[in-house]
Amino acid sequence: MTKAELVERLAERVNLTKKQTEVIVNTVFKSITEALSKGNKVELRGFGSFRIRHRNSREGRNPKSDRKSVV
């Protein structure tokens, strides 16, 4: 589902314009992004939880060229 599809479905359910619904969706996404960037965990019960994880780089391989690179 794209953000546009989400906005469209929500607008139909709550009887708001697509523009009003888009502002709400953008505000929610911005709030989640800001919380994650501050190192906080975001938990939406019944949907999922989000947090930033830092992992060490690893070596990958391009199967077409067989070249190795750091991923």
36-46, pLDDT tens digit by residue?
A: 999 999 999 99
Do the domain assignments include residue 71? no
Give the DSSP letter of residue 23: H
Q: Is residue 17 assigned to a domain?
A: yes
On average, the pLDDT of the chain sits at 92
d(CA 48, CA 32): 12
In a domain, 26, yes or no: yes
How many domains would you assign to the chain? 1
- Domain span holding position 32: 3-51
Q: What is the mean pLDDT of residues 29-56?
A: 95
As a whole number, mean pLDDT of residues 1-14 equals 96
Q: What is the pLDDT of residues 19-30, one digit of tens each?
A: 999 999 999 999
Tell me, what CATH number does 19's domain have?
4.10.520.10
Whole-model pTM: value is: 0.71
